[in-house]
Amino acid sequence: VSQARSRLDDQATVSNEDGLSHLEDCEDGAYDFILMHAVIEHLEKEYVEQLLNTARRKLTDDGVISILTGNLANPLSNSIMFGDFDHKFGYTPAGLSTLLENHDYEIAAVSGFEHAKYSGTVRYFAGQAMEAVPRLILRLGYVMLRLRRPATLAPLMFVVATPVVTE
């Protein structure tokens, strides 16, 4: 919270409170954007469903929700998911997309990214190679097994969605 406040200055309101309680106290349509960065994997399924339903009501009609979490479609991401004792549940691109669609969101984008940052030329190229080889093996595995390849195979993913507007 202190890092966010120092980096954002007056550009945003930063608070440290229960997300669902905070959203329930706000007016419907109060938010243009809701970001859940490394949040939902720490929550029980029922709570996630409540949070998504409440967030949808609190978004404007053209609002956006962005959820970042580990990607269990990449078996190497298990160290992200299971390396932390307080993780409750993991998601794949299809699973998270379906969850959002079932709670009246329309998927705008599904994308992935690597979480490692490498400084120095040698470390950078070594890191890129270490990430490229498992990705290639995963792609080949999906082709050889004739499985539908996930939207992203990166160890981390984010899904961007908008609320379905009913007239």
| Cα distance between residue 109 and residue 159, in whole Å | 6
Residue 39's pLDDT is 93
| Cα distance between residue 163 and residue 126, in whole Å | 41
Mean pLDDT of the chain: 86
Residue 3 contacts by C-beta under 8 Å, 6 or more apart in sequence? none
**Verdict on whether the full-model pTM lies above 0.85:** no
Look at phi and psi of residue 104 and say left if phi exceeds 0, alpha if psi is from -120 to 50, else beta.
left
pLDDT in tens, 99-149: 999 999 999 999 987 665 666 777 777 767 767 777 788 778 878 888 777
Q: How many CB atoms lie within 10 A of CB 60?
A: 15
Query: For 121, phi and psi rounded to 5 degrees?
Result: -65, -50
| Cα distance between residue 150 and residue 138, in whole Å | 10
pLDDT band at 7 (very low <50, low <70, confident <90, very high): confident
Asked if pLDDT for residue 78 goes beyond 80, the answer is: no
Q: Which domains does the chain have, with CATH numbers?
A: 2-116+154-163 (3.40.50.150)
